[in-house]
Amino acid sequence: MVISREDLEHIAKVARIALTEDEINELLPQFNEILELLARARELPLVDEELLSTTDAEDEFREDAAIPFSDPDAIVAQFPKKRGRYAEVPPNL
């Protein structure tokens, strides 16, 4: 087994997913099955190079011009809870 029950509970906490008991019972064997499958990659003859992306884009910089977004109100309108123009969350004292 790659992941233990305690591992899974810890990972869920880091990932901010509040898993129920049933979900843990269902997910735990699935994770281990998947990870064991993926672990086979270790036995494959891999090249000694790490590749992050296949983009050809050059690292061109952007000119420093301030262009305000046309509709900030549409962003504010999406806040699930708001106070005036602020997004609202529980205070942290």
Partner 1 sequence: MPMLEETLEKIRNGEVLPSEHLEEKIAIFEEREPELNAFITPTLDQAREQAKNIDSLVRQEKGEAFYGLVWGIKDNFAIKGVRMTCASKMLENYVPPYTATPVERIFENNGVILGKLNMDEFACGSSGETSYFGPTRNARNPEYVPGGSSSGAGAAVAAGIVDLALGSDTGGSIRNPASFNGVVGLKPTYGLVSRYGLADLAMSLDVPGPLASDAYGIALAMDVIHGYDPRDRVSAKVQLSFLGSLDKFDPGSVRIGFSDKLLDGAEAPVVKTIQHVLKFYESKGVEVVEVDLPDIWTAFPAYYLVMYPEFASAMQKFDGIKYGHRTDAQTLYDVVAKSRDEGFGKEIKRRIIMGTFISMAKNAEWYRLALRARATIVRMFKKAFEQVDMILSPTVPTLPFKLGERINDPVKMYMADALTVPANLAGIPAISFPAGWYGDLPIGAQLMGPRYSDPLLVSAVRFFEKEGKQWSE
Partner 2 sequence: MVRIGFEIHVQLKTKSKLFCTCPTNFLDVEPNTNVCPVCTAQPGSKPNGINEEVIRKAVLVALALNCKIRTEPIRFMRKHYFYPDLPSNYQRTSEPFAVDGELAGVRIREIHIEEDPGRYELRDGTVDYNRSGVPLIEIVTEPDMTSVEEARDFLKHLRAVLDYLDVILYPQIGFRVDANVSIEGGERVEVKNINSIHGVVRALKYEIARHKRMLAMGKKITRETRHWDEVRGVTVSLREKETAEDYRYMPDPDIPPYHIDPALVEQLRAQMPELPHQKKDRLVSEYGIDESAAWTFVLDKGLGDLFESLADRVGVKNATAFCLNLRGELNYRNKYLSDIQKPERLESLADLYFSGKITKPVYVDYLRKVLDDPTFVPKAQELLSEDEIRAIAREIIAANPDAVADYRNGEKKALNFLVGQIVAKTKGKADPKKAIQILRGELNR
Locus of tokens 């509970």: 9
- For partner 1, what does the binding mask look like between residues 23 and 52, x meaning CB under 8 A? x---x--xx-xxx-xxxxxx-xxxxxxxxx
| Among the listed residues 41, 30, 37, the one whose alpha carbon sits nearest the alpha carbon of residue 3 | 30
Query: How many whole angstroms separate alpha carbon 2 and alpha carbon 42?
Result: 14
One-letter amino acid of 86: Y
Q: Quick one: what does residue 42 bind among partner 2, partner 1, none, with the CB cut-off 5 to 8 Å set by partner type?
A: partner 1
Size, binding site for partner 1 by CB under 8 A:
54
* Footprint of partner 2 (CB under 8 A): 14, 16, 52-53, 55, 57-69, 72, 75-76, 83-93
| Among the listed residues 7, 53, 54, 50, the one whose alpha carbon sits nearest the alpha carbon of residue 27 | 7
Q: Quick one: what does residue 47 bind among partner 2, partner 1, none, with the CB cut-off 5 to 8 Å set by partner type?
A: partner 1
